[in-house]
Amino acid sequence: MKSVAALLLVGMLILWTELPTGSAWSCPPVQVTCALHNPPNKCYTDRNCPRYTKCCKTFCGRRCILPPSPLSYG
Q: Answer whether 0.75 is exceeded by the pTM.
A: no
Per-residue CA distances from 10 to 4, 41, 48, 69 (Å): 10, 27, 21, 38
Residue 17 falls inside a structural domain = yes
Q: Which residues lie across from 65 on neighbouring strands?
A: 54
Residue 71 falls inside a structural domain = no
Total tally of structural domains belonging to the chain: 1
Q: What is the CATH number of the domain that holds 6?
A: 4.10.75.10
pLDDT in tens, 17-67: 555 555 578 999 999 888 888 899 999 999 999 999 999 999 999 999 999
Which pairs count as long-range contacts for 58-64, CB under 8 Å and 24+ apart, including other chains?
A: 58/30, 59/30, 59/31, 59/32, 59/33, 59/34, 60/33, 60/34, 60/36, 61/34, 61/36
Q: Domain of residue 23: give its range.
A: 1-65
Residue 44 falls inside a structural domain = yes
Residue 72 falls inside a structural domain = no
Residue 74 falls inside a structural domain = no
